[in-house]
Structure formats: structure tokens, C-alpha cells
């Protein structure tokens, strides 16, 4: 898997021009995970919602890496169908 690097607060760079954001929802104690391509910040793709309990157990970033990898695979498959 490509290295994931943190850019600022909750924005991360996955590689190959792909970024993702973790958006915290304090009311529901969860994080929404959104993916977008470089230069296309206005077209974010919702990936999943992650329960805050996973962060408390230290599993948040592991879960995020898996979800981002799956989301990128779905995104690339969709792009290939459109080509």
C-alpha cells in the first residue's frame, strides 16, 4: 500500500493525486471519510462513517487505510467504465 501522509488537521495525501479527509461529527461520535482527486476538491466522494470507538482503541488509521484503498479501487473501476 502507498504511504499515507498527514498534510494538515484532518487532510491526508494517499498518493497518485488522491487525498482524503476525516470529518469529525462530535454529536454522533463518528468520523466521515471523504476522498477526492487533486484539483477536484469540490467533487468529494463519500467512503464511509467510522465509529469514534475505533479511535479510542487505536484502530482508526488502520480502518481508514483499508477504506481508502477500497474507495480508490471503486473509483478507478468507475473511471475505467466511463472511458
pLDDT digits (tens, 9 = 90+) for 24-61: 877 877 888 889 988 888 888 888 888 776 555 567 77
Q: How many domains does the chain have?
A: 1
Q: What's the pTM value of the predicted model, to 2 decimals?
A: 0.68
pLDDT reading at 19 higher than 80: yes
Q: What's the chain's average pLDDT?
A: 79
Is the Cβ–Cβ distance between 64 and 58 less than 8 Å? no
For residue 83, give Cα distances in angstroms to 9, 56, 80. Answer: 35, 42, 5
pLDDT reading at 11 higher than 70: yes
Supply the range of the domain harboring residue 59: 5-82
Amino acid at each position: 500500500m502507498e504511504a499515507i501522509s498527514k498534510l494538515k488537521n484532518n487532510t491526508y495525501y494517499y498518493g497518485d493525486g488522491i487525498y482524503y479527509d476525516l470529518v469529525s461529527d462530535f454529536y454522533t461520535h463518528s468520523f466521515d471519510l471523504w476522498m477526492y482527486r487533486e484539483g477536484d476538491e469540490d467533487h468529494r466522494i463519500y467512503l464511509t462513517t467510522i465509529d469514534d470507538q475505533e479511535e479510542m482503541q487505536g484502530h482508526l488509521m488502520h480502518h481508514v487505510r483499508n477504506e481508502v484503498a477500497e474507495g480508490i479501487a471503486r473509483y478507478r473501476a468507475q473511471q475505467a467504465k466511463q472511458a
